[in-house]
Amino acid sequence: MKNVVLYIFLILVIQIGCKSDQSESGQSQSETGQKNKITYTIPDGWVSETPKSRMRRAQFRLPGPKTEEYAELAVFVFPGSGGSVNDNLNRWYRQFKQPDGADSEERAEIKKFRVNNLDVTVVYVTGTYLQSPSTMMMGGPVKEIPSTAMLAAIVETRTDPWFFKAVGPQDTIDHWRPVFNEFVQSFKWE
């Protein structure tokens, strides 16, 4: 019995130590409590926040370059689901309306490449963002936010896809775009 109590105590100490991966800007972060996970380096200037929902693994505030308007980057993984890369891209395109009525997919910039043996798709799209009143709602009334951009990465892993999606004012997203590209290069599967 004494050994069991000691074993449980050691596991708790290790788990508490692992939580130190919740890091400040410029540090590496990983998803604790998972057998397989993506690690990444948080860029300087990004502010780690408490995720708005339990669906989010992490959340960051990307400050605006000139104003207080910020973008928000959310990290998602849906074990056992999540849909294909194209399913998610198509859903995200429908979240944008183009001022001239064009299809958002036609305006999107897409890049596919490998990072540390991971297949990554990065998409950038601008327009009027059709924001749902809830992160869970897919339909119904939306708030139209003009001059918005999305910069997102879908990472295909051996188990489930991971999603890194930033949405906010176009000038804020454009400001962070080179940094986002460096961020994507830090992805590693462990």
* Cβ partners under 8 Å of residue 122, min gap 6: 110, 111, 112, 113, 151, 152, 153, 180, 181, 184
Written as six digits, the tokens of 56 are 């989010």
pTM of the model: 0.80
- At 117-149, the pLDDT tens digits run 999 999 999 999 999 887 555 667 899 999 999
Percentage of the chain exceeding pLDDT 70 = 78
Written as six digits, the tokens of 169 are 């004012």
* Contact between residue 135 and residue 53 where contact means Cβ atoms under 8 Å apart: yes
What mean pLDDT comes out for the span 170-186?
A: 97
Written as six digits, the tokens of 171 are 């000038």
Domain boundaries, the chain: 23-189
Q: CA 141 to CA 129: how far, in whole Å?
A: 13
- HSE-CB at 184 with a 13 A cutoff on CA atoms is 29
Correct CATH for 23-189 of 3.40.50.300, 1.10.10.10, 3.40.1000.10, 3.40.50.360: 3.40.1000.10
* Cβ partners under 8 Å of residue 20, min gap 6: none
The yes-or-no verdict on residue 35 having pLDDT over 70 is no
